[in-house]
Structure 1
Amino acid sequence: MKQDPRPLVAHVMYRFDTGGLENGIVNLINHMPAERYRHAVIALTEVTDFRQRIRRDDVQFISLRKAPGHGIWLFPRLYRLFRELRPAIVHSRNLAALEVQLPAWAAGVPVRIHGEHGRDVGDLDGSNRTYQRVRRFYRPFVSYYLALSRDLADYLTDIIRVPGNKVLQVYNGVDSQRFHPGEPDRVAADCPFARPQHWLVGTVGRMQTVKNQPALARAFIRALQIEPALAERARLVMVGDGPLRDECRQLLDAAGVGELAWLPGERSDVDAVMRGLDCFVLPSLAEGISNTILEAMASALPVVATDVGGNADLIAAGETGEIVPPSDDEAMAREIVRLASRPEQARHMGLAGRRRVEQNFSMQAMVERYQDTYDRLLHRPGASQAR
């Protein structure tokens, strides 16, 4: 049987499920030319039905069902797996998957890349000494680092002491064909609100602590206190599932505005949800480069986001949206009031965000950056020599 000449990239993460990191892997595999690389997706825990978003039929999916905690007992299995697959590149993502770099090195994988995509709730500012020590321990086994924001690139070079020539800061890209501006009178299927009589502010994401959706629920309640007339037309949309969903619903019900909010849980039509909004808010406590911000901008929405991670890299404050301090419900509420009270200005900010995505955060630019990095580290023909 003829051996496939395409190099194999093994993408490793903790769990392959709904999320920005995982969505970035889906976009990369779907848009990278199939003749250049093969791909395998390895989850230390589980590969979920999220795999169905990958449109290629030559991708291998592997679940290792790792128990919580450090996975040193998994090293022999990973070693054997890498020896069997013989990947040209192992590309791990975030601290939870960093440990695979050692067995990849032991198995003789030629190129070992580690991506830093964002911070965990246990290390919002990068000051966790234990996490720093873990990253320094595995540093000798990593060939190259990809950081999704300037903040994370600086953390690697300044705190983890990775040589600058081993770190590349690369932005995510967004599918601007799937995510595009909507019609002013359209909402997502099943949405109980109507446009243009209602002005919809919303968010999309896993409802977990680091995403901090209760801050948006409180900000929406506060916005209605600041400007009571908004209760006639302002509506809140919170898409996603997780432990914070019930907390958000309870906050809104306790304030007597539960009927002004829609919390449908996880949705597969996020692009349609985005097109049915008038403003997008990201209240996170930590981020790398947020896919949902890029998706909102591609959908021509003004974006209000917290000043964490790479959010300020994406949003041109005052032009495409606004940046507010993290956990500042009052500042978030006042931005919601301002944009809801000036819908035409909000619309122009959204259109400016769409132009910014097309110029700086295209899917093609992201895929070319990753492919060029893979080519260069493997010394493949056509690779750029520029860093």
Structure 2
Amino acid sequence: MEFPFNKDRIRVLFFIGNLQTGGKERRLLELLNYLKSQGRYEMLLLMTKEDIFYPEFYNLGIPYKVIGQPRYTVFSSFFKVCKQFKPHVIHTWGRMQTLYSLPTALLQSIPIINNQITSAPPNFNLWSWEGLVDKLNFHFSDFILSNSAAGIDSFKPPLHKSQVIYNGVSMSRFENLTDALLVKQKYNITTPYTVVMSASFSPNKDYGLFYRIADHITQLRDDITFIGVGQSHDDLNFNRYREMIKNKPLIKLPGRIDDVEALVSASDIGVLFSPNGEGISNSIIEYMALSKPVIANDTGGNKELVRHNENGYLVKDLPHTGIAQIILDLIDNPDKRKKLGDRSREIIVDNFSISKMGESFERIYGEVVGHAPSFQNATPKLESNTIV
């Protein structure tokens, strides 16, 4: 692969597992889109698996390459690509991608910006195999970035080279969406109210709680549909829940869909149950950007997005019947629902813009390569970046 070189541009090599649907994948795509618009960067995307679920990526015209097949060749393949591309900086988006990068970074003297922290598990074992890999990664990384202060607290990287950069979201994603009536028809939603959970079907998401709440409420009344959407990473449980809802038409699990924003827009409440801890959840950001009240676990970075009693509710150790009562109260109080939803959107517009995120990443690149652009907004530091 031949690479064009422009001496006035910073060459950034991005390394991620794939571009399947997920929070960090969406975040990287937003960043690539922003950086492309700035005209100051030569970019190359490396993946270990060619799964690209975002067709808009191809429109960016950013070259990409898949390495690591077979897997044991990933170290040597990465070394060869860096020899050709000669990046000023390696920007990694995963624990294993950072580990794969270390020998090349050391041998070729390329700084690493480590963006592997995207979650915030409450009881992460720092002496587990993953924890030991993290210690190695953190030691040799030049910057360690997290999308939440909670993530820094969970994984405990060296604070002197750790910073928080919140997710940025392009509000244009939420314009000109399909009409709500047509969306409901597509998913066979016939009730006036809808509660949505947008989350992958995996051990880190509590679809069991979602099901118990939905089953409880739909036995009480027939005007609310519950729909959970997301890619399955646990087909056995996914199929088991699909069997359980066969005779429950008001509970739906269609799997991965391509029009999440339109479905959220057509819904009334967004919920996310992830007791193992989120970083900054893109699903919650989407709920909020579309003016929905949010109900989520009081764990990880959720409290950096959801302000209890202001734009939604943070729940902890609350039984499914208690959460069901919160949902019913919101459904039966449209003024409260609108007030919380409007506040949700305000928080996103004020604190989670693409420009804020993009400028923060640009400043990091500038610091690493030694000629930082003079932006008005500095990169938010850990101690002052949490929204209060």
CA shift for structure 1 position 381: 4.6
CA shift for structure 1 position 56: 4.5
Q: Is the 8 A contact 2:277 2:301 kept in 1?
A: no
Q: Which position in structure 1 is the counterpart of 2:369?
A: 378
Give CA deviations for 1:262-294 in whole Å, capped at 9, x if unaligned: 322222111111111100011113211101110
User: Which of residues 172, 180, 187 is equivalent to 1:191?
Assistant: 187
Q: Which position in structure 1 is the counterpart of 2:205?
A: 211
Q: Residues 347 and 340 (structure 1 numbering): CA distance in 2 closer, same or farther, change over 3 Å?
A: same
Distance in 2 of aligned mates of 1:303 and 1:181: 23
Is 164-173 or 30-39 further displaced after alignment? 30-39
CA shift for structure 1 position 357: 0.7
Q: Residues 241 and 95 (structure 1 numbering): CA distance in 2 closer, same or farther, change over 3 Å?
A: same
Distance in 1 of aligned mates of 2:359 and 2:82: 26
Read off the aligned partner of 1:127 and give its amino acid letter. N
Q: Which position in structure 2 is the counterpart of 1:3?
A: 5
Q: Which position in structure 2 is the counterpart of 1:334?
A: 325
Instruction: State the TM-score, normalizing by the size of structure 1.
Output: 0.86
CA shift for structure 1 position 295: 0.8
Read off the aligned partner of 2:44 and give its amino acid letter. A
Alignment of 1:67-216 (within 5 A): 74-119=74-119, 125-130=123-128, 131-156=130-155, 159-160=156-157, 162=158, 164-179=159-174, 187-188=183-184, 190-194=186-190, 198-216=192-210
Read off the aligned partner of 2:127 and give its amino acid letter. R
SS at match of 2:114: strand
Distance in 2 of aligned mates of 1:114 and 1:381: 18
1:24 aligns with 2:27: yes
Instruction: State the TM-score, normalizing by the size of structure 2.
Output: 0.86
Q: Residues 7 and 382 (structure 1 numbering): CA distance in 2 closer, same or farther, change over 3 Å?
A: closer
Q: Residues 55 and 62 (structure 1 numbering): CA distance in 2 closer, same or farther, change over 3 Å?
A: closer
Q: Please report the RMSD computed on the Cα atoms of aligned residues, expressed in angstroms.
A: 2.6
Alignment of 1:283-362 (within 5 A): 283-284=273-274, 285-325=276-316, 328-362=319-353
Q: Is the 8 A contact 1:239 1:263 kept in 2?
A: yes
Distance in 2 of aligned mates of 1:300 and 1:55: 30
Read off the aligned partner of 2:88 and give its amino acid letter. A
Distance in 1 of aligned mates of 2:119 and 2:223: 36
Q: Which position in structure 1 is the counterpart of 2:386?
A: none
Distance in 2 of aligned mates of 1:332 and 1:53: 37
Distance in 2 of aligned mates of 1:181 and 1:353: 20
Give CA deviations for 1:25-62 in whole Å, capped at 9, x if unaligned: 11111122341112222112x12132522254431222
SS at match of 1:209: coil
1:249 aligns with 2:242: yes
Read off the aligned partner of 1:266 and give its amino acid letter. R
Distance in 1 of aligned mates of 2:4 and 2:124: 48
Alignment of 1:270-281 (within 5 A): 270-281=260-271
Distance in 2 of aligned mates of 1:176 and 1:191: 24
1:221 aligns with 2:215: yes
CA shift for structure 1 position 184: 7.0
Q: How many residues align?
A: 368
Q: Residues 86 and 373 (structure 1 numbering): CA distance in 2 closer, same or farther, change over 3 Å?
A: same
Give every structure 1 segment of 4 or more consecutive aligned residues whose post-TM-superposition deviation is greater than 6 Å.
181-184
SS at match of 2:108: coil
Q: Residues 292 and 221 (structure 1 numbering): CA distance in 2 closer, same or farther, change over 3 Å?
A: same
CA shift for structure 1 position 7: 1.8
Q: Is the 8 A contact 1:12 1:90 kept in 2?
A: yes
Q: Residues 83 and 351 (structure 1 numbering): CA distance in 2 closer, same or farther, change over 3 Å?
A: same
5+ residue gaps, structure 1, are none
- The percentage of aligned residue pairs carrying the same residue is 22
Distance in 2 of aligned mates of 1:89 and 1:320: 39
Distance in 2 of aligned mates of 1:327 and 1:181: 37
Give CA deviations for 1:89-138 in whole Å, capped at 9, x if unaligned: 11112323221231232342532111134349xx6522252222221123
Q: Residues 379 and 353 (structure 1 numbering): CA distance in 2 closer, same or farther, change over 3 Å?
A: same
CA shift for structure 1 position 80: 1.8
